[in-house]
Amino acid sequence: MSKTQKFTTEELKQITDLRDGHGQKINEFGQIELELLLANQRLEALQEARDDVRAQYISLQQQEKQLVADLNKNYGEGTVDLESGEFVPKSV
């Protein structure tokens, strides 16, 4: 059996520094992964919000078209003065 030997202080420091460096990088990788997860969750939430607003906007456009069609049917073509609430027929 061989005789055990002691590392020098400098060698032990190098080994310890490498071990600590590995642990630090592993922690940094974990932190980056967590940040990416949170960023992806935020992105998904923003995309869902965008899709909801888009659907609401399309619905408003459809309501507007229907209202214009109904008003044109009842009053003919023209414009509305929102301040006075009056309908101004289109000149032929």
Is 4 within a domain? no
Q: Name the residue range of residue 69's domain.
A: 9-89
Is 24 within a domain? yes
* Residue 86 bridge partners (DSSP): 81
- Give the pLDDT band (50/70/90) at residue 2: confident
Residue 92 above 90 pLDDT?
A: no
Task: Give the total number of structural domains in the chain.
Answer: 1
Is 68 within a domain? yes
**Amino acid at residue number 53:** V
Is 35 within a domain? yes
Query: Of 39-43, 59-63, 75-79, which gets the smallest average pLDDT?
Result: 75-79
Is 2 within a domain? no
Q: Nearest 5°: phi and psi at 77?
A: -80, 145
pLDDT per position as a tens digit, 16-59: 999 999 999 999 999 999 999 999 999 999 999 999 999 999 99
- Give the pLDDT band (50/70/90) at residue 64: very high
Q: To 10 degrees, the CA torsion angle through 9, 14, 17, 21?
A: -170
Q: What's the predicted TM-score (pTM) here?
A: 0.65
Is 31 within a domain? yes
